């Protein structure tokens, strides 16, 4: 007799689909089989049973300039749980006089009492952290095994510092995760546009060309290949960047790439919406044209990209509005922490882009492996009982009211999805059941991650 049994569902893993019951004891998957009995039982007839989804790129309560992203660790993880996500990976940055280990402790002090699902942290390395590179092994030992390097924004690493950071991450057996854009070209194009009176968000994607995202992607792949370190490319927005990743992988290089719902569901005409509405979808890299969108679905279909994350980083309507007269000042980022898993199912199945195992691989298993989440992302005996009972027959129209994110808007307002998580379970505890939150603040845990394994 197991503590909890999920009965009669169709189990979907990254490699196959089969009917089975799942037995859970405490926090762990104890059995996968037929006719299992539990003290508590959940009926999954006509439902899919998947691993809990893993979102390895979110920015909760993230300070950017004078703003802080809208979802905190409670509202953000709660919204994630409604969408079937049971683990996120967020970010930590050091203050000038703070060590990496101190910064991890400070970020954990913010997150630990608030998270309702499990989480990890990427350590951010800005130019001022180059003096702290010898601390990387301590950050790794503290469970922070991935390192965020920006090639864009004011705190980007130029190639010399990129080389030093990649080398230090390699020496500690870590994995670098990179925002790849060509910042020098972007700043020049922004200046030219503003000087010409091109101040509205229409010009945002036109200041950040796809070809230059690909250039930066290829450049960091080449530097990482020279150094001999695996590499993950964040938020790929175009076919040109996919091509660089695919080429590297064909050569046998350990390079992976992700894309996000904003690039898969929106096109750049969103920036032409009147007034503040056009500022809302500003994010970087920018949302591009229909051809770029199709190229990304193709890349997922062909496994040329391996992971879908959200890059969830919303700001309020008022905060976005501050850049109305100068698109380069709009705080960048969009929300999608809740819709990702269902949206990928809905569109992936409707359009035939994905098989069920590919959906699970890209949203659950691959990110768990890449992030060294040793007991997550799979339905395997001995793994954490992070599970979703997913109703393929449920339909959902997205709106700010139907979602649980803190932002007062969503770029997916009116998007109709087929399929939605009915029950979300994190380490054996039900967090969301039939649309009700039944979890608890602080029930989530910081996960000490290990070396990447994808
Ligand atoms: O515009 C974006 N994507 N904001 C979040 C920070 C980042 O670059 O990932
Ligand atoms: Zn980024
Ligand atoms: Zn990001």
Q: Which residue has the tokens 């030093």?
A: 164
Q: What is the pLDDT of residues 244-265, one digit of tens each?
A: 999 999 999 999 999 999 999 9
Which ranges in 336-398 belong to alpha helices (H)?
340-350, 356-360, 366-370
Q: What is the pLDDT of residues 268-285, one digit of tens each?
A: 999 999 999 999 999 999
> Ligand 1: distance of its center to the CA of 285 in Å?
8
Joined tokens for residue 189: 């194009």
Q: Which ligand is nearest to the CA of 309?
A: 3
Neighbours of ion ligand 2 (CB under 5 A): 179
Assess whether the C-beta atom of 335 lies below 6 angstroms from ligand 1.
no
**Nearest partner of 304 among 372, 237, 244, judged by Cα:** 244
Residues linked to residue 85 through DSSP beta bridges, in sequence order:
53
Q: Are 321 and 276 in contact (CB under 8 A)?
A: yes
pLDDT of residue 239: 98
Q: What is the dihedral of CA 47, 52, 57, 59, to 10 degrees?
A: 100
Q: What is the pLDDT of residues 396-441, one digit of tens each?
A: 999 999 999 999 899 999 999 999 999 999 999 999 999 999 999 9
Q: What are the boundaries of each domain within the chain?
A: 2-50+379-437, 52-370
Q: Which atom of ligand 1 is nearest to the CA of 153?
A: 8
Q: Which residue has the tokens 């992203």?
A: 69
Interacting residues of 340 by C-beta distance below 8 A, sequence separation 6+? 53, 55, 83, 85, 260, 261, 308, 309, 310, 363
What is the average pLDDT across 123-137? 98
Mean pLDDT score of the chain, rounded to an integer?
98
CA separation for the pair 285, 112 (Å, rounded): 30
> Ligand 3: distance of its center to the CA of 151 in Å?
12
- Is the pTM higher than 0.85? The answer reads yes
Assess whether the C-beta atom of 348 lies below 6 angstroms from ligand 1.
no
**Nearest partner of 395 among 415, 414, 413, 419, judged by Cα:** 419
Q: Is 252 left (phi over 0), alpha (psi -120 to 50) or beta?
A: left
Joined tokens for residue 252: 């046998």
Cα distances from 416 to residues 201, 283, 312, in angstroms, run: 26, 23, 20
What number does CATH give the domain 2-50+379-437?
2.30.40.10
pLDDT of residue 94: 98
Please provide residue 304's backbone torsions phi and psi, each rounded to the nearest 5 degrees: -75, -25
The answer, yes or no, to whether the previous bond of 379 is cis (omega within 30 of 0) is no
Look at residue 8 and give its three-state secondary structure. Answer: strand
pLDDT of residue 65: 86
What is the average pLDDT across 23-52? 98
> Ligand 2: distance of its center to the CA of 179 in Å?
5
Assess whether the C-beta atom of 312 lies below 6 angstroms from ligand 1.
no
CA separation for the pair 271, 160 (Å, rounded): 35
Joined tokens for residue 215: 């250039």
pLDDT of residue 151: 98
Given ligand 1 and candidates 233, 333, 411, which is best to mutate, with the most ligand atoms within 8 Å of its CB? 333
Residues linked to residue 29 through DSSP beta bridges, in sequence order:
24
* Interaxial angle between packed helices 290-301 and 239-250, expressed in degrees from 0 to 180 and rounded to the nearest 10: 30
Q: What is the pLDDT of residues 38-51, one digit of tens each?
A: 999 999 999 999 99
What is the average pLDDT across 186-211? 98
Joined tokens for residue 157: 């690493």
pLDDT higher than threshold 90 for residue 169: yes
**Nearest partner of 389 among 3, 35, 10, judged by Cα:** 10
- One-character DSSP codes across 395-448: EEE--TTTS--SSS--TTTT-EEEEEEEEEEETTEEEEETTEE---TT-S-B--
Domain 52-370: give its CATH superfamily.
Answer: Metal-dependent hydrolases (3.20.20.140)
> Ligand 3: distance of its center to the CA of 156 in Å?
13
């Amino acid at each position: 007799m197991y503590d909890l049994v999920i009965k009669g569902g169709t189990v979907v893993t990254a490699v196959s689909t089969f009917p089975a019951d799942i037995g859970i004891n405490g926090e762990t998957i104890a059995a996968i089989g037929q006719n299992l009995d539990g003290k508590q039982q959940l009926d999954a007839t006509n439902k899919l049973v998947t691993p809990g989804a893993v979102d390895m790129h979110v920015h909760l309560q993230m300070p950017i300039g004078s703003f802080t992203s809208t979802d905190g660790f409670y509202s953000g993880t709660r919204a994630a749980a409604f969408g079937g996500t049971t683990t996120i990976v967020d970010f930590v940055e050091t203050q000038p006089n703070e060590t990496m280990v101190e910064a991890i402790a400070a970020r954990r002090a913010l997150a630990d009492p608030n998270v309702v699902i499990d989480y990890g942290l990427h350590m951010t390395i800005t130019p001022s952290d180059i003096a702290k590179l010898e601390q990387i092994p301590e950050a790794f030992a503290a469970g922070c095994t991935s390192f965020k390097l920006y090639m864009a924004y004011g705190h980007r690493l130029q190639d010399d510092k990129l080389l030093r950071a990649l080398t230090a991450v390699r020496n500690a057996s870590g994995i670098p995760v990179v925002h790849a854009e060509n910042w020098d070209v972007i700043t020049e194009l922004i200046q030219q546009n503003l000087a010409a009176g091109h101040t509205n968000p229409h010009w945002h994607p036109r200041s950040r060309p796809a070809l230059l995202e690909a250039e930066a992607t290829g450049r960091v792949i080449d530097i990482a290949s020279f150094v001999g370190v695996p590499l993950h490319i964040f938020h790929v927005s175009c076919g040109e960047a996919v091509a660089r990743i695919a080429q590297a992988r064909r050569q046998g290089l350990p390079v992976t790439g992700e894309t996000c719902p904003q690039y898969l569901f929106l096109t750049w005409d969103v920036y032409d919406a009147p007034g503040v509405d056009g500022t809302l979808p500003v994010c970087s890299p920018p949302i591009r044209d229909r051809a770029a969108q199709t190229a990304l679905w193709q890349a997922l279909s062909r496994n040329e990209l391996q992971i879908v994350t959200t890059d969830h980083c919303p700001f309020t309507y008022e905060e976005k509005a501050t850049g109305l007269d100068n698109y380069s000042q709009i705080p960048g980022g969009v929300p999608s922490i809740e819709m990702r898993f269902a949206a990928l199912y809905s569109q992936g199945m409707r359009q035939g882009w994905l098989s069920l195992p590919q959906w699970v691989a890209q949203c659950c298993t691959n990110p768990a492996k890449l992030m060294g989440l040793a007991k997550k992302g799979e339905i395997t005996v001995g793994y954490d009982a992070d599970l979703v009972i997913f109703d393929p027959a449920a339909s959902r129209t997205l709106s700010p009211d139907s979602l649980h994110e803190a932002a007062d808007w969503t770029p997916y307002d009116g998007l109709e999805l087929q399929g939605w998580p009915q029950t979300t379970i994190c380490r054996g505890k039900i967090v969301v059941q039939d649309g009700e939150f039944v979890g608890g603040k602080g029930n989530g845990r910081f996960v000490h991650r290990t070396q990447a394994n994808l």
